[in-house]
Amino acid sequence: MANTPADTISLKALVDKERNQIMFIESENAFIDVVLSFLTIPIGTIIRLAPKQSVPLEIGCMKNLYASVENMDVKHFRSKACRDMLLCPLNGAEVHCKNLKLKIDRGEPTRYYICGSECPGLSYSYGVRCEGCGRNIYSQRELSAIQDGDIFVKGLARLIISDDLQLMPPLTVKSLSVFSELGVMNGNTTEEVTFNVGSDEVLKLLVCSLVSKTPLTETLLKNKPIRKLSNENQVMDFEPEIAEGTTNPNGNISVKLIVSKSKKMVCYAEVGEDFVSLLLSFLTIPLGFIVSKMRDCSLRGCISQLFKSVQDLDNRYISNNHKETLLSPKLAPGCCYDNHLLGTEEATFYYSSTYDRLSSDKTLLISRILADYVTTTSLAESSIKSMKVKDPKSYQDLDKGYLGPAMFTVTDDLIIGPISLIFGLSLLNELKVPSTDIEEKTVHVGKEEALRLLVASFVCDSALTNVFIREPKQNKGPKQEQS
């Protein structure tokens, strides 16, 4: 085999010549790990990187949320850092992803600084004052890349990946039957092709996985015309997975909707900064978290196939620890907007003074200390402290959201701007809704509504109407009161 350049991965694909379609790919783990890492990538990162691609990224209203942050004056945010963490959200699984052979985000790596004294202060920026002890934080530490050899899948797994991103162990009855259905067994129409893929192809694959059922074909077979994606407004029959007993009357956010009675749609909403912070926090959410909240939602792309494949892989191919990293991806430490409505969790950084390493994988850190420094687990554990992000410039008040107190106008497809009657009136004009046809409705957003909003903003471009006006299939529907 020819030498592969260092920044590419070589893939062996079986191609259906007649249909000009990739049936499946065989590859080293390096490529499978790259594909699996898609589940850990925050939505905001996908949108930031996607414009470089030729494929239109149509994921509900997420792009509008991102553009709203870009367009909003920085004075509306609690700090510039709050705005930055929405435009360039950190990946909570960075300790894994930094070792990937191909990275889609080749920007500046995140820097980590720890407080020199005994306190567990940690910051993403240099020289800020530690809230814990009052000293300035200067010591830069690498986020430790200690690994047990695997990034996500185990050593010699050699999984097969189909065009719609289903992972299969090689040569199982299941994979054979899938491929004979696809007509792969006919040697006359198939050929083996080798591809070298780099970061650009990986980014294109990520975007295609969100909008197409055949992302590998569209990414790798250059002469394959990109299917024109339908532009119709998808009305989704989605119901997010909601854990029992999550309805929480406390901390509810109230939202005033301007509704067209005849069209049964939300024209726009007048809201406070609490609701906007909730919407903007969607940009920090890892893709896998959103997929985990969707129940049989007919997504345009096939990222849910990838998610299901990980669920189905047994621990010969992936450890339970890595499985959890992909199926319940966490936010980076200090980056979780603390309104508890979505139930997202933050990763934790652990620092060992003995080993002088920072890691978000405590088990791995302990095993490395045990191997090199101390003899008992309790000694290893006692040398580890969990770090707290202490950065007065940025993350201190995140429990109050990203924005300072203000009122905002939000459109049905989640374009957000400072509250404006002129904007509201021009929207009504554009929608051809006369003033006699509008009514005001006040709704309250609890955990259930927050999760439905998250899913709706990912799959359709009329998020507010879908969540607050359309009757959900089984549920009683959002609490509403006339005002």
The residue ranges that bind Zn ion (CB under 5 A) are 115, 119, 121, 130, 132-133
Q: How far is the CB of 79 from Zn ion (least distance, A)?
A: 20
Beta carbon nearer to Zn ion, 160 or 384: 384
Q: How far is the CB of 390 from Zn ion (least distance, A)?
A: 7
Q: How far is the CB of 136 from Zn ion (least distance, A)?
A: 9
Q: Which residues does residue 67 pair with via DSSP β-bridges, in sequence order?
A: none
Which tokens in the block code for residue 145?
């890349």
Beta carbon nearer to Zn ion, 85 or 130: 130
Beta carbon nearer to Zn ion, 121 or 333: 121
Beta carbon nearer to Zn ion, 307 or 395: 395
> Is residue 430 within 8 Å of residue 444, measured between CB atoms?
no
- Residues near 136 by Cβ (< 8 Å), separated by ≥ 6? 127, 128, 129, 130
Beta carbon nearer to Zn ion, 114 or 310: 114
Q: How far is the CB of 361 from Zn ion (least distance, A)?
A: 24
Distance CA 89, CA 370 (A): 34
Q: Please report, as a single letter, which amino acid is at residue 121.
A: G
Return the half-sphere exposure (C-beta side, CA atoms, 13 A cut-off) of residue 371: 8
Beta carbon nearer to Zn ion, 119 or 280: 119
Distance CA 136, CA 153 (A): 40
Q: How far is the CB of 119 from Zn ion (least distance, A)?
A: 4
CA distances from 437 to 261, 270, 325, 371, 464 (A): 6, 18, 49, 72, 18
CB atoms within 10 A of CB 483: 11
Q: How far is the CB of 137 from Zn ion (least distance, A)?
A: 7
Beta carbon nearer to Zn ion, 56 or 132: 132
Q: How far is the CB of 349 from Zn ion (least distance, A)?
A: 14
Beta carbon nearer to Zn ion, 139 or 429: 139
Beta carbon nearer to Zn ion, 129 or 340: 129
Q: How far is the CB of 129 from Zn ion (least distance, A)?
A: 9
Question: Among 358, 350, 386, which Cα is nearest to 141's?
Answer: 358
> Is residue 458 within 8 Å of residue 452, measured between CB atoms?
no
Q: How far is the CB of 114 from Zn ion (least distance, A)?
A: 9
